[in-house]
Amino acid sequence: MEAFYFGPSEHYLFGVFHPRQGPSRNEAVVLCHPFGQEYMRAHKSVRRLAINLAALGYPVLRFDYRGTGDSAGDLTGVTAEDWIEDIGFAVQEVMDMAAVSKVALVGLRLGGLIAARAAAKHDCVSRLVLWDPITDGASYVNDIRAAITEAQTEGSRSRLITQDGTMHFNGFCMPRAFQDSLSTLNLTDLAPSLHVPVAQIVSHEADEFSAVRDQFADRAAFHSELAPAPHNWNYVDHVGGILWPKPVIDAIEQYFGQARA
Amino acid sequence: MREQVVMVGSELPLVGVLCEPENNPAPNVAVILLNSGVIHRVGSCRLSVTLARNLCEKAGLATFRFDFSGIGDSEARRGTLTAAQAAVDEVQEVMDYLSQWKQFDRFILYGLCSGAFASYRTALSDTRVMATVQLDGYCYMTWKSHLLRYAPKLLSLTRWSQFILRKLGLRKTRKGAEVSGIEERYFEVPGFAGYPPKEEVTEGLRVLNDRKLQMLYVFFGHEYYVYQDQFQDCFRPVVFGDNLTVIHRPHATHILSEPEDRASVVDAITQWAAQLVHQPQP
């Protein structure tokens, strides 16, 4: 494992590279995090997935988008398009490090939607794995706004919207520019431009996951799987507990394990 | 400000980020930020990153935030020590590394909750620690805090009715998975060691106080820290001087998810640290 900074100097990105441990494969994996408190809760799971995929022979890079984790800056002035660009930097980085020509993207929650946009944009992306994906940016933003509005009736000081429109949700903020750019993204619109195999691996049933299944059902290279596991990424306890949905991690590992080395 | 990723140790390294100011007016001092619970070094609500960068940019201090072994990006290390003992060893390993590499010889340790406990224990073991910043560090109830906490409950009819219902078995106190709705095997929370006896901490603080360790304590609005001077009252035999500063934020939660409180705590720590390292030495 190697931890390092990469990307442009003005908004450097924190990354952790897991070199392949098993049979050599000409495909690397980039793992794409969710947003905010969900990122905190998912760190251990994403790291475990990286270790397991590396053991299968995939070089893996996980990283923090700009304005998050150990990467540069905060989210002031950052848009969803910037995060899509960051995935592009991560893809290039892992291709250089592992000397491979193809990269699979795995995205959890908001990371799934962002990764889908990046997959449509980069020819070197070989497949896309959606883990409990956010399928519609506008709905996601509206859901957070609704949760804040509801919390405000109880006088919440951690869920609020400031005058400039920034949403503060469970200790993380989402500025207006990010909300606006995110609201333009949805999987339905992106689907026609996704020309790579897509897998949707989910921890529970939901209408939006069914819609994705229906939309991709006629594609030969579509894999859908339910691996029941807890999924309340925004449950916030008072000690910073971490969600550990092992069945989904195992299912994603098995999906990658089925591909021939 | 310049940040770089650092791996401390050749086998099973501890992963961290060193943040250095452009011009370092306190070249021999570094602030080390410790994990709280099982949260990786970014800190609760990204507090450690925000604080590390603020200390660097506004107080001109080098900072190092890292993961203990088995947390975040640092591999677990097997050994015979308890997690609490290993934490002290690992902070000392980091101090050794930074001393050798960057010639820091005095350290300020920062931690929230279990990170605060680790900073206290390390300060007891190592005189290179010149100061600690402890958020919700060790403190115990006093007669006054008992009174302030329980008196309103004694006068509350609702509390009495809930108490009676619980005693009659008609109302259950929810715990663990019943509160979170998440099965325990899918939800990792820190396995906190119990608080040491109050007498032990009092004696420890006496030693640190005699050593003139600079101490900043910040307590949040949980129900066990109830009034501003509870810390001094709790450890009354110890006569603290101006080496102790206590801040009480009664409306903040333990994980500081409130943006206003987070910003004010970061500012308060930064100002305190700047004053500490830039004041003329006696």
Residue B219 CB coordination number (10 Å): 24
User: Is B73–A3 a contact, with Cβ atoms under 8 angstroms apart?
Assistant: yes
Could you tell me which residues are beta bridge partners of residue B18?
Answer: B4, B64
- Structural domain tally of chain A? 1
User: Is B257–A241 a contact, with Cβ atoms under 8 angstroms apart?
Assistant: no
Of B181, B254, B259, the CB nearest to A173: B259
Chain B CB within 8 Å of residue A151 CB: no
> What mean pLDDT is reported for chain B?
91
Residues of A in contact with B69 (CB under 8 A): none
Classify residue A116: in a domain, yes or no. Answer: yes
Residue in chain B closest to A35 (alpha carbons) equals B45
Classify residue A145: in a domain, yes or no. Answer: no
Classify residue A58: in a domain, yes or no. Answer: yes
Residues of A in contact with B40 (CB under 8 A): 40, 43-44
Of A2, A74, A244, the CB nearest to B187: A244
Q: Which residue has the higher pLDDT, A51 or B281?
A: A51
User: Is A235–B15 a contact, with Cβ atoms under 8 angstroms apart?
Assistant: no
Classify residue A102: in a domain, yes or no. Answer: yes
User: Is B42–A40 a contact, with Cβ atoms under 8 angstroms apart?
Assistant: yes
Of A3, A70, A162, the CB nearest to B49: A70
- Name residues whose C-beta falls within 8 Å of residue B237's C-beta, 6 or more positions apart in sequence: B202, B206
Residue in chain A closest to B113 (alpha carbons) equals A239
pLDDT in tens, B199-227: 999 999 999 999 999 999 999 987 789 99
Both tokens of A38, joined, read 């969900």
The answer to whether residue A52 scores a pLDDT higher than 60 is yes
CA A243/CA B200 separation, integer angstroms: 35
Q: Which residue's structure tokens are 């689907």?
A: A191
pLDDT in the model for residue A261: 57
Among A102-106, A202-206, B21-25, B54-58, the range scoring the smallest mean pLDDT is: B21-25
ipTM above 0.90, yes or no: yes
Residue B212, min C-alpha distance to chain A (Å): 31
The answer to whether residue B10 scores a pLDDT higher than 90 is no
pLDDT in the model for residue A138: 98
Of A157, A173, A230, the CB nearest to B183: A230
The answer to whether residue A260 scores a pLDDT higher than 70 is no
CATH class of B2-140+197-278: alpha beta
Classify residue A33: in a domain, yes or no. Answer: yes
Of B5, B37, B181, the CB nearest to A232: B181
Quick one: angle between helices B114-125 and B83-102, nearest 10? Answer: 60
Q: Please calculate the CA angle A48-A53-A55 and round it to the nearest 5 degrees.
A: 100
**How confident is residue A22, by pLDDT bands cut at 50, 70 and 90?**
confident
Domain extent for A232: 2-135+186-257
Instruction: For residue A115, count CB atoms less than 10 angstroms from its CB and return exposed for 0-12, middle for 13-18, buried for 19 or more.
Output: buried
User: Is B186–A5 a contact, with Cβ atoms under 8 angstroms apart?
Assistant: no
Residues of B in contact with A244 (CB under 8 A): 185-188
Classify residue A147: in a domain, yes or no. Answer: no
Best of B8, B19, B40 to mutate (most A CBs within 10 Å, chain A): B40
Residue A22 CB coordination number (10 Å): 13
User: Is B46–A69 a contact, with Cβ atoms under 8 angstroms apart?
Assistant: yes
The answer to whether residue B176 scores a pLDDT higher than 70 is no
Classify residue A154: in a domain, yes or no. Answer: no
What average pLDDT does this structure show over A105-112?
98
**How confident is residue A109, by pLDDT bands cut at 50, 70 and 90?**
very high
- The rounded radius of gyration (Å) of the Cα atoms in chain B is 20
What is the domain partition of chain B in residue ranges? 2-140+197-278, 146-194
Phi, psi angle pair for B163, to nearest 5°:
-60, -45
User: Is A157–B251 a contact, with Cβ atoms under 8 angstroms apart?
Assistant: yes
Chain B CB within 8 Å of residue A5 CB: yes
The answer to whether residue B78 scores a pLDDT higher than 90 is no
The answer to whether residue A75 scores a pLDDT higher than 70 is yes
Query: CB–CB of A35/A232 below 8 Å?
Result: no
Residue A208, min C-alpha distance to chain B (Å): 22
pLDDT in the model for residue B37: 87
Best of B1, B4, B5, B112 to mutate (most A CBs within 10 Å, chain A): B5
What average pLDDT does this structure show over A108-129?
97
Residues of A in contact with B46 (CB under 8 A): 68-69, 171-172
